[in-house]
Each structure stands twice: as C-alpha cells, then as structure tokens.
Amino acid sequence: MSTDGASLYSRKNPFPATLTVNRKLTGEGSEKDTRHFEISLAGSGLDYEVGDSLGVFPTNEPELVEKLLERLGFSGDEVVPNADKVPMPLREALLKSFVITAPDKKLLGAIAEKDSSATFLKDFLDPAFKTSLEDYLWGRDVLDPLLEFSAAQFTPEEFAGCLRKLQPRLYSISSSRRVVGENVHLTVAVVRYESHGRRRAGVASSFLAERAGDEGAVPVFYHTAKHFRVPEDPATSMIMVGPGTGIAPFRAMLQERAATGATGKNWLFFGEQRSSSDFFYRDEFERYQAEGVLTKFDTAFSRDQDFKIYVQHRILENATALYDWFENGAIFYICGDASRMAKDVDAALHQVVEKAGGKTPEQAIEYIDALKKAKRYRKDVY
Ligand SMILES: Cc1cc2nc3c(=O)[nH]c(=O)nc-3n(C[C@H](O)[C@H](O)[C@H](O)COP(=O)(O)OP(=O)(O)OC[C@H]3O[C@@H](n4cnc5c(N)ncnc54)[C@H](O)[C@@H]3O)c2cc1C
Ligand SMILES: NC(=O)c1ccc[n+]([C@@H]2O[C@H](COP(=O)([O-])OP(=O)(O)OC[C@H]3O[C@@H](n4cnc5c(N)ncnc54)[C@H](OP(=O)(O)O)[C@@H]3O)[C@@H](O)[C@H]2O)c1
C-alpha cells in the first residue's frame, strides 16, 4: 500500500483496515491517555518501511453530530453535497466528510449575516484581525457559534457549504513489518480538553481510542518518509531522541535493527512526565538493553521531581559520549513535538559540540549544518 504504486491503496483510495488492539500505555496517576494501537492490513499488499507514517481517515463524534442537527432543526436525512460535492445524507456527511470541530471563516461570515448580534464576527474575516480570529476560534467547534448566535438559521445545503473538508491525520508507525507481518502499530496521545463548558476530543485520536473498534473499517494509507529511514549501512550507529509519542518510530527502528541483526550501536533518549505511569514500552526497551540491541538508554521524567528534567538535559549530561558518537559517524534522529522540544534539543546539540568538541558557537553551527547536509541529522517532528 505504498504511495509509489506497489498496492491498489493510497490516500485517494484508502484501505479499509481493522483495529485489532487498543491498549492504554499510560497507567494510573497519568495526566495523559496515550495508547498502543494495532491495525491489521491483511490483504492490502502492504509494504511500509520503518520511519513511514500511517494516514488515518477519522469520523467525527456522533454526539456532536446529533447536537448540531438538533440545533439546526434538521433530521440528518437531508441530502447535501459533501466536501467532494458528492450527494450524501447530511448526518453521514457530518460524520465523515466535514470538519465540525473547528468553525470555518465562511461559517462565521454566514452567522454574522444571519444574526444581527454577531456582526462583529465579520471583522474577523479581515486579515488585519487574524489574531482576534485565532483567539476566538481557540477551543470552539462548529456548535459553539451556532449556540452563541441562536437566531442564525440555515438550509441544509447552505450549512454544508460553510464547512471544510475533514482531512486524515498522520501517525508515525511504531512497528517493523519484519516483526509484525501484515500489521501496523501506532502510539497515539489522545487529545482531550474542556472548553466553554463542554468536554472535547481530538477527532482522529479519539476516533481510534473510542470509535474505530465498533465502526468496522479504519480507512488508512501510507505516507512515506524517505528522509527518516534506519541507516543505509547497518554498521552505522544511531542516536534517537523521542520524548512522548516521539518514541513511535524508534520502537519501529529498534525492532528493525534487532530483526536484521544490524551491528551499529543504538542510543535512545526517551522522556515523559512520570516513570510510574508514562514509561511506554518499558519492558521492551529493557529487554533490548539486556540483549545488547540498545547500547545506551537515557530517560528524562519531567515530573518525577519538583524541577523539570527533559531529554535535552540528558543530552547535555552526556556531551562527551555524544560528541564521540558523532565523530564516529552516528546518525542523529529526532521525533515528537516540533513547537518547543525539537528547538530545545537542537540548542542542546550545539552546546554539546561546543563543550565536548571545544568549538566556538559559530563552529558548532557549522558542525551541525554539516551533519544536516550529510543527512546525519534526521527529523520527523510535528
Ligand atoms: C508526520 C506526523 C507524525 C505524527 N505521529 C504521531 C504519533 O506517532 N502519535 C501521535 O499521537 N500524534 C502524531 N502526530 C500528530 C497527529 O497527526 C494528530 O495531529 C494528533 O493526533 C491530533 O489529531 P486529532 O485529530 O486527535 O486532534 P484534532 O481534532 O486535530 O485536534 C487538535 C486541535 O485541538 C485543539 N486543542 C488541543 N488542545 C486544546 C486545548 N487544551 N484547548 C483548546 N484547544 C485545544 C488545537 O486546535 C489542536 O490543534 C503526527 C503528526 C505528523 C504530521
Ligand atoms: N498529549 C497531550 O495531551 C497533548 C496535548 C496537546 C498537544 N500535544 C502535542 O502532541 C504531541 C505529542 O505530545 P505527547 O503527549 O506525545 O508528549 P509531549 O507533550 O511532547 O511530552 C513528552 C515529554 O516532553 C516534555 N517536554 C515538554 N516540553 C519540552 C521541551 N521544551 N523540551 C523537551 N521536552 C519537553 C514533557 O514534559 P512536561 O509535560 O512535564 O512539560 C514530557 O515529559 C506534541 O506535539 C504535543 O505538543 C499533546
């Protein structure tokens, strides 16, 4: 099912897969709900490689769909053009085709036209009010402005025309097919929060956690990541930094390196909030350590003490050994949060080169840039 045409299935024609395992990785006392999923791709002609991601087409929460239909006074059987302009009953379109967890600007504009108390929403459509629009949208779904401005009435077709297309979500594959056959494993943090007095959930992560098992098929496709493969030479060492769900591709890579008997050394940095509740795949990693597959394994549990310890702190503590690995040709991999973690780790790497390599800040920049040019600094951050 690769995107290079080896299988019938692709983003445009997703494979109807089956969710076979839905297991919580986080334990009692955790603030998160992070899960291990196994999805069967039997019959798909799968050929993913470690480093790739799986695209998942979710469906929306049925309760939210029913609340929307109720507010709008629709039965749900009204036929409307879905996001691909194909006629579909409104309920089905709201479940499968449209974004209903974030209002589109078009909807806000239509509400402003229909409810005189909502005219200020029109201002948000001006690019000059981009920040106000973002502030307004934060934590609001399609139902919120409809409840706030109850005079706004729509025809089913008009309403459907104000919604944008639901997009698939990508998840790093956390298994090697050499080990799991026609299955694919994922490691997913379920997004949940409360806003404006209602409990909300991320569409795809809650679909996998709560609905995919009952709904039958999970439409999936592969997203190849040619830049994020295990080293081409099995003797090359790997340094992997994967806090939180960033661990996913490294579980896959370690499975692959173990299965292929790769001789290169493997160093893993993992971080989460608490060792007692958030140490994902602990047994597997400790087994790899005992077997010598995992040469070095450093963990950073940020909330086990009253000050933060993050992966970059472990990186700095190990500056001399890390620099030594770089000097001996290791490839550096990072996966997980792009907004803060990846930047902070990058800064720590520069410090490692300065401190352990005796280099100036400018020389450290050149050193890291050279790693990137040589494809020895591989990122998959989101
Ligand atoms: C290449 C790639 C690989 C990835 N791999 C993984 C992986 O292995 N595991 C994983 O878990 N994720 C991974 N992700 C992220 C994943 O694709 C989804 O973005 C994530 O699961 C959220 O999707 P969702 O549909 O559940 O949430 P959405 O429905 O998209 O909701 C998320 C949105 O909810 C809103 N929101 C969240 N919290 C709050 C709050 N407190 N208050 C108000 N609003 C809030 C924000 O607008 C946020 O953008 C990856 C992403 C990429 C691009
Ligand atoms: N899981 C959720 O509920 C949730 C909610 C919203 C967004 N997200 C996003 O989803 C993605 C994955 O989240 P995740 O649950 O896998 O893990 P995560 O939020 O990335 O957290 C994993 C670990 O990284 C730590 N961390 C926080 N800031 C850091 C930094 N600047 N540098 C290094 N480590 C840092 C966290 O510590 P502390 O938490 O103690 O600071 C935690 O120990 C990220 O993009 C995240 O931003 C997740």
Q: Which CATH number fits domain 238-381: 3.40.50.720, 1.10.10.10, 3.30.300.30, 3.40.50.80?
A: 3.40.50.80
Nearest CA to ligand 2 atom 27: 341
φ/ψ bin of 64: left (φ > 0), alpha (ψ from -120 to 50), beta (otherwise): alpha
Instruction: Determine contact, residues 238/266, Cβ cutoff 8 Å.
Output: yes
Q: Cβ distance 301 to 211 under 8 Å?
A: no
CB of 83 sitting under 6 A from ligand 2? no
Given ligand 2 and candidates 32, 138, 299, 341, which is best to mutate, with the most ligand atoms within 8 Å of its CB? 341
The residue to which tokens 């098992």 are assigned:
213
Say if CB 145 and CB 136 are below 8 A apart.
Answer: no
Q: How far apart are CA 80 and CA 67, in angstroms?
A: 18
pLDDT band of 213, cuts 50, 70, 90: confident
Checking if the pLDDT of 130 tops 50, the result is yes
Question: Alpha helices of 308-340 — where are they, by DSSP H?
Answer: 311-317, 319-327
Ligand 1 midpoint to CA 287 (Å): 31
Each residue of 24-41: pLDDT tens digit?
Answer: 999 999 999 999 999 999
Residue nearest atom 49 of ligand 1, based on CA coordinates = 202
- pLDDT at position 228, please? 98
From CA 29, how far away is CA 26, in angstroms rounded? 8
Distance 83 CA to ligand 2 centre (A): 33
110-117: average pLDDT: 94
Mean pLDDT of 178-190: 97
Shortest-distance Cα residue to atom 1 of ligand 2:
189
Give the closest residue (by CA) to ligand 1 atom 13.
171
Kindly give the distance from the C-alpha atom of residue 243 to the centroid of ligand 2, in angstroms, as a whole number. 7
Looking up tokens 């974004």 gives 99
Q: What was the pLDDT predicted at 216?
A: 79
In this structure, the residue with its CA closest to atom 5 of ligand 1 is 171
If one compares 118 and 94, the residue with the highest pLDDT of the two is 94
Q: Which ligand is nearest to the CA of 243?
A: 2
Q: Where are the domains of the chain?
A: 15-58+170-223, 62-160, 238-381
> From the CA of 209, which ligand is nearest?
1
Cβ–Cβ under 8 Å, residues 238 and 253: yes
Mean pLDDT computed over every residue of the chain: 96
Which residue's C-alpha comes closest to atom 1 of ligand 1? 170
Confidence of residue 1 (pLDDT cuts 50, 70, 90): low
What SS3 string covers 140-183? CCCHHHHHHCCCCCCCHHHHHCCCCECCCEEEEECCCHHHHCCE
- Name residue 38's beta-bridge partners: 21, 185
pLDDT of 358 reads: 97
Residue range 15-58+170-223, CATH number: 2.40.30.10
Ligand 2 in contact with 243 (CB < 6 A)?
yes
Mean pLDDT of the region 144-153: 96
Contact present, 55 and 206 (Cβ < 8 Å)? no
Ligand 2: nearest atom to the Cα of 272: 43
Ligand 2 touching residue 336 (CB < 6 A) = yes
Q: What is the pLDDT of residue 110?
A: 96
pLDDT exceeds 70 at position 2: no
pLDDT over 60 (residue 180): yes
Is the CATH code 1.20.990.10 the one for domain 62-160? yes
% of residues, the chain, pLDDT over 90: 93
The residue type of 107 is L
DSSP-based three-state secondary structure for 17:
strand
- Ligand nearest the Cα of residue 335 is 1
| Model pTM above 0.75 | yes
Q: What is the pLDDT of residues 31-80, one digit of tens each?
A: 999 999 999 999 998 789 999 999 999 999 999 999 999 999 999 999 99
Q: Which ligand is nearest to the CA of 305?
A: 2
Q: Is the pLDDT of residue 126 over 70?
A: yes
Q: What is the pLDDT of residues 248-290, one digit of tens each?
A: 999 999 999 999 999 999 999 999 999 999 999 999 999 999 9
Tokens matching residue 308: 């933060």
In DSSP terms, which residues pair with 298 in a beta bridge?
269
Decide whether any atom of ligand 2 lies within 6 Å of the 144 Cβ: no
Residue 185 has pLDDT above 60, yes or no: yes
CA distances from 358 to 320, 328, 344, 369, 374 (A): 10, 17, 21, 17, 21
Residue nearest to atom 43 of ligand 1 (CA): 139
